[in-house]
Copies of this chain bind each other. A is one copy, B any other.
């Protein structure tokens, strides 16, 4: 079965946009109970329809094999009862989170007599463009719904049937809770022109969230006429200050690099203060050797570790996502901050120190979405931060910075209460 026959892709996408906008108006006033009921119904349907979902998933897997997808990609694509259970569990967790919509804060009286406060409200319609992993369909739909937004989802063509089958569960869940099914729409074609058309729907879509590789994010940033919440590289640093506790330094550095290699919050460049470098590097070297991590160092690093490779300018700019670590010895805190603000990607950076003033300066002066003291960069994550769930990690500065949870999918409007007040 191929995709639906769509005559004019722009008209089709415009239609999705209009339906999403109409649904978003209903969601604006949907109460918490209805949204939670929909999330729980979706979870139930995903578990109850495991057989159908796996049959649809098999079509994608077979097509993937024919098209020569590698084993890792096929594995990421594959459904099994456990994975479906995880998706359902994710929806139940979102249902259990507090509803951010409608919360009023800072409601204070002004000298004029009016009360002014701010109300948290949905953004409206969110377009999500993602690659391969079909679980994003479920996560994104759940987060958008709970935050009161309508969603248009465009997944990868290699997961087309899987995404469509999940969408059926999601839409039926909405319907069972008395909410419009169009609150979540999955683009019904694999035509790449649909992405371009979505990025031009600026009257119907309020924000675009791309999730995937650098190529996808670059294309979306360049083409989109709609604001984008995006996540670029994660070039994360640990700086071992000369006032560091050596045990903490070793523990944090090792965890930041080796707990997982392929994640955006993994350590890529280690900075070490000159006076502690001999001890810190000598302690770390055998541990990294044990884990099979390739070390590349600046000239001063190689003075202490003569048998490692040379780090070049390209290494300071590299997001390896691999068991490779570049190391630079720096005179002290100023140079460490300068290096991070110059070469870093404004993602996550840590100082290891016992010195109060240096910790305080690092927190303030490093211009990254997460700045840490004596903690592994691997903590930069929506679940670890207590957001409950995340739709991505933003390396932008406007609107949302760092892990984006339900609050990041909302905005604040002003509410003003008077009693016939007029301006004089």
Residues of A within 8 A of B (CB): 25, 28-29, 102, 108, 110, 112, 114, 116, 119, 121, 123-124, 206-207, 227, 245, 247-248, 251-252, 254-256, 259, 341, 350, 352, 361, 363-365, 367-376, 378-380, 384-386, 396-399, 401-403, 411-423
Complex-state Cα separation, A108 to B387, whole angstroms: 12
> Contact check: which of B245, B386, B414 meets A371 at CB < 8 Å?
B414
> Contact check: which of B112, B398, B413 meets A379 at CB < 8 Å?
B112
How many monomers of this protein are in the complex?
2
Structural contact, B423 and A378, CB atoms closer than 8 A: yes
Closest 5 CB pairs of A and B: A375-B418, A248-B420, A255-B422, A372-B416, A378-B423
Closest to A207 in B: B398
Nearest-neighbour CB distance to chain B for A252, whole angstroms, equals: 6
Structural contact, B419 and A374, CB atoms closer than 8 A: yes
Complex-state Cα separation, A121 to B259, whole angstroms: 30
Complex-state Cα separation, A378 to B248, whole angstroms: 57
Nearest-neighbour CB distance to chain B for A21, whole angstroms, equals: 10
A-B contact pairs, 12 of them (CB 8 A): A25-B341, A29-B365, A227-B227, A248-B420, A369-B414, A370-B413, A372-B415, A373-B416, A373-B418, A376-B418, A376-B423, A398-B399
Complex-state Cα separation, A422 to B28, whole angstroms: 40
Q: Kindly list chain B residues whose C-beta atoms are within 8 Å of the C-beta of A110.
A: 384-386
Structural contact, B248 and A385, CB atoms closer than 8 A: no
Complex-state Cα separation, A423 to B259, whole angstroms: 8
Nearest-neighbour CB distance to chain B for A8, whole angstroms, equals: 25
- Given A123-B397, A361-B29, A411-B397, decide whether A374 and B423 contact each other with a Cβ distance below 8 A: no
Q: Kindly list chain B residues whose C-beta atoms are within 8 Å of the C-beta of A367.
A: 25, 28, 121, 124
Nearest-neighbour CB distance to chain B for A205, whole angstroms, equals: 11
Q: Kindly list chain B residues whose C-beta atoms are within 8 Å of the C-beta of A423.
A: 255, 259, 376, 378-379, 384
Complex-state Cα separation, A374 to B371, whole angstroms: 45
Structural contact, B420 and A252, CB atoms closer than 8 A: yes
Structural contact, A369 and B413, CB atoms closer than 8 A: yes
Q: Kindly list chain B residues whose C-beta atoms are within 8 Å of the C-beta of A375.
A: 114, 416-418, 420-422
Nearest-neighbour CB distance to chain B for A373, whole angstroms, equals: 5
Complex-state Cα separation, A269 to B110, whole angstroms: 27
Closest to A21 in B: B341
Structural contact, B28 and A364, CB atoms closer than 8 A: yes
Complex-state Cα separation, A375 to B423, whole angstroms: 9
Q: Kindly list chain B residues whose C-beta atoms are within 8 Å of the C-beta of A371.
A: 119, 413-416
Q: Kindly list chain B residues whose C-beta atoms are within 8 Å of the C-beta of A123.
A: 397-398
Q: Kindly list chain B residues whose C-beta atoms are within 8 Å of the C-beta of A379.
A: 112, 114, 416, 418, 421, 423
Q: Kindly list chain B residues whose C-beta atoms are within 8 Å of the C-beta of A365.
A: 28-29
Nearest-neighbour CB distance to chain B for A404, whole angstroms, equals: 11
Q: Kindly list chain B residues whose C-beta atoms are within 8 Å of the C-beta of A363.
A: 119, 415
Complex-state Cα separation, A383 to B412, whole angstroms: 18
Complex-state Cα separation, A255 to B29, whole angstroms: 30
Q: Given contacts A248-B420, A373-B416, list 16 more A-B pairs with CB under 8 A.
A: A28-B367, A29-B361, A119-B363, A121-B364, A227-B398, A248-B419, A363-B415, A368-B413, A370-B413, A371-B416, A372-B415, A372-B418, A375-B416, A375-B418, A375-B421, A403-B414
Complex-state Cα separation, A386 to B121, whole angstroms: 21
Q: Kindly list chain B residues whose C-beta atoms are within 8 Å of the C-beta of A418.
A: 252, 372-376, 379
